[in-house]
A and B are shown apart, each in its own frame.
Chain A
Amino acid sequence: MLTVSTGNKAVAMAVRQAKPAVVAAYPITPQTEIVESIADYVTAKELSTRYIAVESEHSAMAACIGASATGVRTFTATSSHGLLYMHEMTNFAAGARLPIVMANVNRSLGPGWNIWAEHTDAMQERDTGWLQVYVATVQEAYDATLMAFRIAEHNDVLLPVMINLDGFLLSHIMQPLDTTDPGDFIPPIHLPHAIDVSNPKGYGGLTGPEEHFKFKWDIERSMRDSVKVIEETQAEFSRRFGRKYGFTEDYWCEDADVVILSLGTFGKESEVAVDNLRREGIRAGSMRVRWFRPFPHLDLKGRDVVVLDRDYSFGFGGVLAKSIEAKNKVDIYSVIAGLGGQEVTYDDIAGFVKQRRMGEESWFGVSGNV
């Protein structure tokens, strides 16, 4: 059914259809509408989820871990400092191979205090073993949430999935949303190592130096296997519901001399920049990276690459730019833009492309740079 929705509400509606057994959450701007809506569904008996209102994000993730370990579907949502407060537990969730699904509404980290969009929060979780997908429309937030449960709970994956959406830019915008009855798209969860009181086992025990690395390798093996599961899930989603998703969203890339790479809503704004650049005779393209973990293979050979990073790793560089550089051995013009919700227009993005200095890094709005 075609309706209008915010990004937050779209996530909540998808969760309602995925029917998790447990949602444990703590509110934080700009995510609150997600868990508030889910709490409303539970109160209205539209969703028979056990909603646990906890006292912190650390507890939210701990409660999801406990619930998930019993083999039931679990969901939570957070943002920014809330995500960082979970950090110890996010590692535990991946290490214990629990397919928890979480929406993270990307927001900057203080101080200086700021509630607007930035990807640094999720980037600080990139080494935890969580799969990460970044979405750019309200429809995609809904679709990716439905797919996240199927991917996380797949027997070849059994790792948690984080859906990332830009704070306010996507969490609070109203866009058309086509809601769908997912039917049996998300199969019933079956966790092979679920706690079974009639068959007691030890969990979370000490692993010595001769065993520990095997568990880590097992995470990486599943992360690699997840590529195929993501592809299959996205193909099946397209077959059933008609909307196509890939590891990246490519726009006019085939013949492009210069490709703009970005995450989240930047990718859509970049498409408008590409249209305008092409009208000026500049063969530009946009490649929006959707899956950041597992990191996709990108075909960038022979093109100038302009990377927009709404994040930063101090003393190193833009995380997306550096990741692409490491994986692809290409020359990059790295633009750090949009931190803390800094306004970046399609004209600004077209400007980055026209003034690109390959091999260099620029901070948008900082004197002496772009």
Chain B
Amino acid sequence: MFEIRIHSRGGQGGVTAARLIALAAIRDGKYATAFPFYGAERRGAPVVSFVRIDDKPIRVYSQIRQPDMVIVLDTSVMETVDVLHGLKAGGTVFVNSAHPPDFKSVRSYHVDLTGIALRENLVVAGSPILNTPVLGALAKLKIITVSSAKTAIAEMFSDERNIKAAEAAYQEMVA
């Protein structure tokens, strides 16, 4: 089982990102579940959501304690939240950032999803959309396939800029 924890702020689309990743994994023929942790958070507060991917049906409903991968959609969350908490030895971190994150002894990747979203004019209510471009980064890391990433995005969003942004993230990320 491959377990992902996503850190974001309420309203940034972390929950939708988890749903898109799960949908892409299912389109790859795998089993997946996605769920948020629903606390008392509101817009702007640090939130987490989770994805599980496996080759067999997933029966676990409790939260992910030791993720294989952590995704940080908003680096400002790291000022108050230990995003590496519980990360498995050999685990991976992906950060939405133009600069490489300063994690010691952790395999980390980065790409500027915010920049890509702004460039593609993928902005809703003044906020850049991060949850579709992040699928490009995950495809680059071979967690989902490129074709399923596109299928999942197309199933949930009709605006083609979402797929273009994911393609840009795929191209620009170094993996």
Residues of A with Cβ closer than 8 Å to B?
2, 4, 30, 115-116, 166, 168-170, 172-176, 265, 268-269, 271-272, 343-346
Looking across the interface, which residue of chain B has its beta carbon closest to that of A4? Answer: B23
Which chain B residues in 23-58 approach chain A with CB under 8 Å? 23, 26, 31-36, 38, 58
Distance in Å from the Cβ of B136 to the closest Cβ of chain A?
Answer: 20
Question: Are A176 and B26 closer than 8 Å at their CB atoms?
Answer: yes
Partner of A172, one of B23, B35, B59: B35
A-B contact pairs, 23 of them (CB 8 A): A4-B23, A4-B34, A115-B38, A116-B38, A169-B35, A174-B19, A174-B22, A174-B23, A174-B34, A175-B32, A175-B58, A176-B26, A176-B32, A265-B61, A268-B59, A268-B60, A268-B61, A269-B61, A271-B59, A272-B59, A345-B60, A345-B62, A345-B65
Looking across the interface, which residue of chain B has its beta carbon closest to that of A268? Answer: B59
Tally chain B residues at the interface, Cβ within 8 Å.
19
Question: Are B35 and A174 closer than 8 Å at their CB atoms?
Answer: yes
Partner of A272, one of B32, B60, B65: B60
Q: Provide the bound-state CA to CA distance between A116 and B37, in Å.
A: 11
Question: Are A176 and B61 closer than 8 Å at their CB atoms?
Answer: no
Cβ of B18 < 8 Å from any Cβ of A? Answer: yes
Knowing A174-B19, A174-B22, the reply to whether A269 touches B60 (Cβ < 8 A) is: yes
Q: Provide the bound-state CA to CA distance between A269 and B61, in Å.
A: 6
Residues of B with Cβ closer than 8 Å to A?
18-19, 22-23, 26, 31-36, 38, 58-63, 65
| Chain A residues within an 8 Å CB radius of B62 | 269, 343-346
| Chain B residues within an 8 Å CB radius of A269 | 59-62
Query: What 7 new A-B contacts, CB under 8 Å, besides A269-B59, A343-B63?
Result: A4-B19, A4-B26, A4-B34, A168-B38, A174-B32, A269-B61, A345-B65
Distance in Å from the Cβ of B8 to the closest Cβ of chain A?
Answer: 16
Distance in Å from the Cβ of A200 to the closest Cβ of chain B?
Answer: 51
Q: Provide the bound-state CA to CA distance between A264 and B22, in Å.
A: 22
Looking across the interface, which residue of chain B has its beta carbon closest to that of A138? Answer: B33
Knowing A169-B61, A268-B61, the reply to whether A174 touches B18 (Cβ < 8 A) is: yes
Q: Provide the bound-state CA to CA distance between A16 and B12, in Å.
A: 31
Looking across the interface, which residue of chain B has its beta carbon closest to that of A139? Answer: B57
Knowing A4-B19, A168-B38, the reply to whether A173 touches B61 (Cβ < 8 A) is: yes
Q: Provide the bound-state CA to CA distance between A170 and B35, in Å.
A: 9
Knowing A173-B35, A174-B19, A175-B33, the reply to whether A2 touches B60 (Cβ < 8 A) is: no
Q: Provide the bound-state CA to CA distance between A345 and B31, in Å.
A: 20
Distance in Å from the Cβ of A109 to the closest Cβ of chain B?
Answer: 18
Q: Provide the bound-state CA to CA distance between A171 and B58, in Å.
A: 16
| Chain B residues within an 8 Å CB radius of A30 | 38
Q: Provide the bound-state CA to CA distance between A115 and B39, in Å.
A: 9
Distance in Å from the Cβ of B75 to the closest Cβ of chain A?
Answer: 26
| Chain B residues within an 8 Å CB radius of A173 | 33-35, 61
| Chain B residues within an 8 Å CB radius of A346 | 60, 62
| Chain A residues within an 8 Å CB radius of B33 | 173-175
Q: Provide the bound-state CA to CA distance between A168 and B36, in Å.
A: 9
Q: Provide the bound-state CA to CA distance between A168 and B40, in Å.
A: 13
Q: Provide the bound-state CA to CA distance between A364 and B32, in Å.
A: 29
| Chain B residues within an 8 Å CB radius of A265 | 61
| Chain A residues within an 8 Å CB radius of B22 | 4, 174
| Chain B residues within an 8 Å CB radius of A169 | 35, 61
Distance in Å from the Cβ of A171 to the closest Cβ of chain B?
Answer: 10
Distance in Å from the Cβ of B155 to the closest Cβ of chain A?
Answer: 8
Distance in Å from the Cβ of B151 to the closest Cβ of chain A?
Answer: 12
Distance in Å from the Cβ of B121 to the closest Cβ of chain A?
Answer: 28
10 smallest CB-CB distances across A and B, nearest first, come from A268-B59, A174-B34, A345-B62, A173-B35, A265-B61, A4-B23, A174-B19, A169-B61, A271-B59, A175-B33
Q: Provide the bound-state CA to CA distance between A204 and B38, in Å.
A: 44
Q: Provide the bound-state CA to CA distance between A294 and B26, in Å.
A: 36
Looking across the interface, which residue of chain B has its beta carbon closest to that of A168? Answer: B38
| Chain A residues within an 8 Å CB radius of B65 | 345
Distance in Å from the Cβ of B175 to the closest Cβ of chain A?
Answer: 26
Question: Are B36 and A172 closer than 8 Å at their CB atoms?
Answer: yes
